[in-house]
Amino acid sequence: MGNLHGGHISLIEKARSLAGKDGLVIVTIFVNKIQFEPKEDLKKYPRTIKSDLNHCRKLNVDIVFTPKDQSMYNIKHSTFVREEILSKRMEGNSRPSHFCGVTTVVAKLFNIIQPNTAVFGAKDWQQTTIITRMTNDLNFPVRIVVVPTIREEDGLAMSSRNTYLTPNERTEATILIETINLAKYIVRNRKTPIFRNSLAKKLKKHIATRRLATLDYIEFFNPKTLVPVKQVQRGTHMALAVYLGKTRLIDNGRL
């Protein structure tokens, strides 16, 4: 959605490595209004198209596709793509219409651009899993490639919404990666699996030590199917969403 940072740059670099010097790399920049909930940050979402285009030039992007709202969703638009299983939990529970907006716009972009390969970031783990499922279910001839999360020096996952944080909120925002690392430590140092409720209780207690942090959800699941697990062990995936003031951040990791 623009406001390119190191995470986006890693996607472009991966795309170029897959396409080769003679291949075509296309970047889409589009703030997709239908994936925002009614009271979310659509109007204030950072739009930095001049800076974004400069990044793309430096990275030798061949085409930057920047459609207008009316081109993607004309006044009579009434068709949407909805995934019915993977999108019900975590982000889908907190943001009920979000993934319908994501799958719809990605399906439209696949139809417009006709790519061989599409590159997404692991920071939005549930999203990449849903897009992969949609691609397979609808027989899009597109290979989905997922690139690891890119982080700041203190471990915070790069995100356009990080710019919303006040200095104090930014300091406390490391609670997300700290909580993931704590979960990894607990799982790694046990000889047997730990019940998810027991682990969640420990992690919630840790998050509560941050004055400005409020937990939205924490979940443990199979990384391929997103099916929740009752017992957490090595290989289980974890995701969480935390509010820092009014800013909502997400992260995830393999335990």
Could you list the active site residues? 8
Strand partners, 167: none
CB 20 within 8 A of CB 58: no
Q: What does residue 254 show for φ and ψ, rounded to 5 degrees?
A: -85, 130
Count how many Cα atoms sit within 13 Å of the Cα of residue 222 in the half-sphere of its side chain: 6
- Between CA 172 and CA 196 the distance in angstroms is 25
First to last CA, the chain: 29
As a whole number of angstroms, the longest Cα–Cα distance in the chain is 58
Residue type, 68: K
Please, which contacts does 225-228 make with residues 24 or more away whose CB atoms are closer than 8 Å? 225/86, 226/86, 226/89, 226/90, 226/126, 226/129, 228/89, 228/196
Secondary-structure percent of the chain, ordered helix, strand, coil, rounded to 5: 40, 20, 40
What would the two tokens of residue 183 be?
């979960």
- The three-class DSSP label of residue 66 is coil
Question: Residue 214 pairs with which residues in a beta bridge?
Answer: 243
